[in-house]
A = this chain, B = another copy of it.
Amino acid sequence: MTAFTRTQNRAANALRPIKITRGYTVHAEGSVLIEFGATKVLCTASVEEKVPPHKRGSGEGWVTAEYGMLPRATHTRSDREAARGKQSGRTQEIQRLIGRSLRAVFDLKLLGERTIQLDCDVLQADGGTRTAAITGAFVAAQDAVNGLLAKGKIAQSPITAPVAAISVGIVDGTPLLDLEYVEDSACDTDMNVVMTGAGHFVEVQGTAEGVAFSRAEMTALLDLAEKGIGELMVLQQQALAA
């Protein structure tokens, strides 16, 4: 129906090559470099034996995330947020999304009064950094949990299901899976979908950048996202089994 051609003739419903590297850095309890094509995000999970004020004395733990992008992760250099003195609204939106997505698959009671702090830093950006971050952060979090189990700090895993995320969008009328930067810039509708291993939705965030989208288009996008997330979960499990 459309003549739109993707980089390297990728099919409209195909993911980019995905690569998940565990143990990318040595200090963190979980450290994963995740690549969605040219997008590279370093996700670390740090275990801290304390919780934020609203959880103190609750017997429950906490899972939270921060997101950043190196200044030259992008085509043109963007300002360093630490130098400007504040995180942009976009950054805050993304890190709140990552935190909520991971908490959705955690039983905070089983975690005990400790925090898993996820840091997702984009080394190189080519679209889909937030979905790569969620998908990689899950693997880092699983490694951190495995460490807690191995040390006997917890008896049972607080992780209730895997979680992964993908972007979908409509470019020139065609629904596409896993948008890269040029597609993301050109798309009319952009949707980020986060799902659990059970095939349920954790987050759906669809935005019409140009023309508003119809109910039928929404259906097509959700179908694509379900397919992609299913594939990502296989890759997560393969990486964790390695």
Q: With an 8 A cutoff between CB atoms, is A218 at the interface?
A: yes
Interface centre among A38, A196, A218 (most CB of B within 10 A): A218
Q: Residue-by-residue, is A162-203 near B (CB-CB < 8 Å gives 1, otherwise 0)? A: 000000000000000000000000000001000110111111
Q: Which residue of B lies closest to A208 (CB)?
A: B202
Q: How far is the CA of A100 from the CA of B238 in the complex (A)?
A: 39
Q: How far is the CA of A98 from the CA of B83 in the complex (A)?
A: 16
**What number of A residues sit within 8 Å (CB to CB) of B?**
66
Q: How far is the CA of A208 from the CA of B163 in the complex (A)?
A: 13
CB contact list, A196-242 vs B, under 8 A: 196, 198-208, 211-215, 218, 222, 226
| Number of identical monomers bound together in the oligomeric complex | 6
Q: How far is the CA of A215 from the CA of B89 in the complex (A)?
A: 30
Q: How far is the CA of A117 from the CA of B83 in the complex (A)?
A: 13
Whether A200 and B208, one on each chain, are in contact in the complex, defined by CB atoms closer than 8 angstroms, is yes
Q: How far is the CA of A139 from the CA of B86 in the complex (A)?
A: 30
Q: Which residue of B lies closest to A206 (CB)?
A: B204
Q: Looking at the complex, which one of B25, B86, B199 makes contact with A85 (CB distance below 8 Å)? A: B86
Given contacts A25-B40, A42-B70, A203-B205, 11 further A-B contacts (CB under 8 A): A27-B72, A27-B74, A27-B75, A44-B71, A82-B91, A86-B86, A191-B204, A201-B215, A203-B207, A204-B205, A215-B226
User: Could you list which residues of chain A lie within 8 angstroms of chain B, going by C-beta atoms?
Assistant: 25-28, 31, 38, 40, 42, 44, 46, 48, 66, 68, 70-77, 80-83, 85-87, 89-93, 95-96, 100, 104, 117, 119, 121, 123-125, 161, 191, 195-196, 198-208, 211-215, 218, 222, 226
